[in-house]
Amino acid sequence: MEIDPAEVDGSLYRTLSGSVVPRPIAWVSTTSEDGVDNLAPFSFFTVAAIDPPILVFAPVDGPDGLKDTPRNVRDTGELVVNIVTDDTVEAMNQTAATLPADESEFDQSGASRAESTRVSPPRVAESPIAFECELYDLQDVGSSSLILAEVVYVHVADAVTTDSKVDVEKLDAVGRMAGSWYASTEDRFSLERPP
C-alpha cells in the first residue's frame, strides 16, 4: 500500500494511530472557569523536554472547535496529567464519553478526586502517578491543539517505586493501540545500551 496524504479522502488518523503504537495515555484533569472538573484521555501524548520538564499532548478539535480540556487549559493555564494503569483503565474509558461542559467526568466515571498541591484542578486519586502542570504553550496545528505543559509538582505512589525511582516493573501502565485496542506493559524485556 502506498499513501499520498494529499490524495487521502479525510485524514491519516487510522494509519497514524494504528502504526505509532503503543501510545501512552495522558488522563488529563482540568477545571473550567465555572468550576466544573473535567477528565479526559488523550493518546497523542509524550514527554517533550526534561529541562524544563515538559509534557505534550494534542487533542483533536471537536466539531464546534476546542473541546473542554484544551479550552480549560487555555482559560486557566492549569492541568494535571494522570497516568493510566490496569487498575484505572475502565474508569479512564468511561471518561472518553462526550458529556456537556457543565457535567464532570469524575462523577460519571467514578474516579475519585484528590487535592492537588500547586494547581487548582484535582488529580485522580486512583492514579499512581500524577503530574501537576501549568500551561507552557498552546499552538493550533490544523484540526488539533498542541498543548505543552510544564510539570510543577509530581505525585508518585510508593507502591510503584524502588529506591525512590519509578519502577517500570511495578507500574502497570496501559497504552493505546488503535480503535478499541489497548496494550498492557506487563510483557517487558531489557536490552543493554551499547557504549
Q: Kindly state the average pLDDT of the residues 185-194.
A: 90
Give, in order, the Cα–Cα distances in Å from 183 to each of 21, 22, 40, 132, 176.
9, 7, 18, 25, 6
Report residue 179 as a C-alpha cell: 480503535
pLDDT digits (tens, 9 = 90+) for 66-122: 999 999 999 999 999 999 999 999 999 999 999 999 999 999 999 999 999 999 999
Mean of the pLDDT values across residues 7-12? Answer: 88
Burial bucket for residue 84 (CB in 10 Å: 0-12, 13-18, 19+)? buried
- The mean pLDDT value for 26-42 works out to 98
Note the pLDDT of residue 10: 83
Residue 11 pLDDT greater than 90, yes or no: no
pLDDT digits (tens, 9 = 90+) for 130-183: 999 999 999 999 999 999 999 999 999 999 999 999 999 999 999 999 999 999
What pLDDT does 63 receive? Answer: 85
Does the pLDDT value for residue 64 go beyond 90? no
pLDDT at 52 over 90: yes
Domain boundaries, the chain: 24-177
Quote the pLDDT of residue 65.
87
Residue entry with cell 507552557: 136
Q: Tell me what pLDDT residue 62 has.
A: 87
Does the domain formed by 24-177 have CATH 1.10.287.3510?
Answer: no
Contacts within 8 Å (CB) and 24+ apart, 162-170: 166/129
pLDDT at residue 187 above 90? no
Pairwise CA distance, residues 130 & 107, whole Å: 19
